[in-house]
Structure 1
Amino acid sequence: MLESNLQAVNNDVKVLLKDAQALLASAASLTGDKAEEARNRGMRLLEAALSKAQDAQTSAIAAGKQMATSADDYVKENPWRAISVAATAGVLVGMLCSRK
């Protein structure tokens, strides 16, 4: 779920940035009120993209903290199981490294 939300935000930011780039490129040839209007619209698009990126970063940090807390709680409740999983992973990594 988190991954799909981040992907959606990433796509939205890309679209906003492309729109802003196109708008600013076309504004280069305009003068007067139209140029000012185009620049203002471009700045609003860039600010919206920045806001979405910051929101995505905030939600990713919150989700990361929640996962770390969950993992910490699990290890505290099941220390022997966590040790056995870590040992198994270590053995597997060791076997893979020794093959090369």
Structure 2
Amino acid sequence: MNSADQHKANLMRELTQVLKDAEELIKNSEQQAGDGFQSAKDKLEATLKNAKQEIHRIEEVVVQKTKDAAHATDAYVHDNPWKTAGIAAGVGLLVGLLIARNK
């Protein structure tokens, strides 16, 4: 998993935790009274619902884009096996040279 994927995974985990914490806060605040509090609570619940829907939508988009990229890569490799082998060999040579240089 590369750095960007780790950051995305961490962000999704943190957003999910924030939603859970907010839901817990709402559940624990049932004892509070007053119209102003109820209005604020209703707004927060609506915002949480929208945030959950948006997180699910983003997850679906990311999964679909990942699948599309994998299919495109697979098609390219099948259509250009020698180019792919050459690129892989070049990258391997470059990595080998960098490793040898640092020792």
What TM-score range do you get, normalising by the shorter chain? 0.5 to 0.7
Unaligned 5+ residue runs, structure 2? 1-10
Between the aligned partners of 2:99 and 2:48, the Cα distance in structure 1 is 47
Provide the alpha-carbon RMSD of the alignment.
2.4
Count of residues paired in the alignment: 77
Considering Cα pairs closer than 8 Å and 6+ residues apart, tell me whether 1 or 2 has the greater RCO.
Answer: 1
CA distance in 2, matches of 1:68, 1:46: 33
Aligned to 2:53: 51
TM-score (norm 2): 0.65
- Equivalent residue runs for 1:1-100 within 5 Å: 31-100=33-102
| Identical-residue share of aligned pairs (%) | 29
CA displacement 1:13-69 (0-9 Å, x = unmatched):
x9xx8xxx8xx8xxx8x7322211211110111111121111111101101100100
> 4+ runs of 1 displaced by more than 2 Å?
none
Structure 1: segments with no counterpart, 5+ residues: 1-9
